[in-house]
Amino acid sequence: MQCGNPNDGRCVDLQPSLDHSPSTIRHRLLARLGLLVGLLAAVSTLGCQALPQRNMALEQVIPPAEHIPNGEFKITLPAYVIEPPDVLLIDALKVVPKSPYRLQALDFVQIKGQGLYPDHPIDGNFQVDPDGTINLGIPYGKLKVGGLTVDQATTQLQKQLEVDLAHPTVSISLAQTAGTQQIAGEHLVTPDGTVNLGIYGQVYVVGLTLSQAREKIERHLSAYLEAPQVTVDVSTYNSKVYYVIMDGAGTGDKIYRLPITGGETVLDAMSQVGGMTQNSSRQHIWIARPAPDHVGMQQRLPVDWEGVTSGGSQATNYQLLPGDRLFVAAERATALDVAIGKAVAPLERISGVILLGTNAIRNLNGSFSRNFNNSNGGF
């Protein structure tokens, strides 16, 4: 209450009738802090109970056994089956066009001549230029051969040379076709399951072994070539992979996708990802192996990391198979700390706002009290 004259009975109520004494404010803050501590304790308990638990109902935990392939007793994988996005290396061993073959740009022909200018012999391989000509050099000039058979090109060159020479003799043979460049080299297996052979079209190879793919490519090329022969190998293994999953303790897992080339073990896989992190658990590492043909329960193979590394044991240094997941769990204490931190974070922000508001109110009350006292002192 503020009064102009204490004796005239006219007073104005400037603020609610609250007790703003230091002791009252202190008790109010202690009560609020007590409530916050109680909420934090409750959230901590819930956080401990809310830690993710693995569902083992569909898992078959398999202890170490001799029949499971490991670093000491490895197995060979089945015949490799081609899938996207593998990269195949195809080499053309025998590429002879079916007769009559007509010369085209980028073909190579071998030309040998006799009875020519002594200082300008013709003996070697010549490429057909994009305009369909062969440049024989000075003094012979160019010869148009695009669209001609080898015999026709030979006759055409013979006539051209007889213009300036008495008795020239030449022979032309096909050294290499442009199609050879389309066949040989690396070929990506596209999402539609085919490899592109350039001017010879596409061949579907998904689901085939390497020998089956070779036979199918040769059969396809036989429509254009005489008894073609090719070799097929895998240049880049992209379709058969395994995964290394590093548990992030609630902050996000790191997943590494690595190709299977045959014989990789747990130790090989960990070396590929740089080893353990500071949050990784050495006691909780396992391989999750999908059930064969998706029938039955998946297998869970626990890994004795200390035994594999410092002990030099091969018992649980399992060989990895296509589709395996090598899971490295995080330390439980770290996971618990992260879970509690996530649960408490909103309350910490709320408590910060409450404390900030309380301090602001206290400062305003202190300022008002000083102004009130100064005002009373003026009368």
d(CA 202, CA 60): 44
In this structure, is residue 192 part of a structural domain?
yes
Please state the domain count of the chain: 4
Q: At residue 275, what are phi and psi to the nearest 5 degrees?
A: 85, -165
For residue 100, the model assigns a pLDDT of 86
- Whether residues 297 and 186 fall in one domain: no
pLDDT digits (tens, 9 = 90+) for 213-238: 999 999 999 998 889 999 999 999 99
Residues of the chain with pLDDT under 70: 1-66, 293-297, 335, 338-339, 344, 368, 370-379
Closest CA to 260 of 233, 232, 286, 240: 240
In this structure, is residue 115 part of a structural domain?
yes
- Whether residues 153 and 213 fall in one domain: no
For residue 37, the model assigns a pLDDT of 59
d(CA 213, CA 216): 5
User: Contact at 8 Å (CB) between 170 and 122?
Assistant: yes
In this structure, is residue 102 part of a structural domain?
no
For residue 13, the model assigns a pLDDT of 41
In this structure, is residue 2 part of a structural domain?
no
- Whether residues 221 and 185 fall in one domain: yes
pLDDT digits (tens, 9 = 90+) for 263-291: 899 999 999 999 998 888 888 999 999 87
d(CA 338, CA 51): 10
- Whether residues 212 and 244 fall in one domain: no
Domain containing residue 265: CATH number? 3.10.560.10
For residue 43, the model assigns a pLDDT of 47
- Whether residues 304 and 349 fall in one domain: no
Closest CA to 301 of 321, 286, 311: 286
For residue 49, the model assigns a pLDDT of 43
- Whether residues 290 and 315 fall in one domain: yes
pLDDT digits (tens, 9 = 90+) for 290-341: 877 666 667 899 999 999 999 999 999 999 999 999 999 988 777 677 667 7
Domain around 158: 108-176
User: Contact at 8 Å (CB) between 347 and 43?
Assistant: yes
d(CA 29, CA 31): 5
- Whether residues 92 and 204 fall in one domain: yes
For residue 281, the model assigns a pLDDT of 87
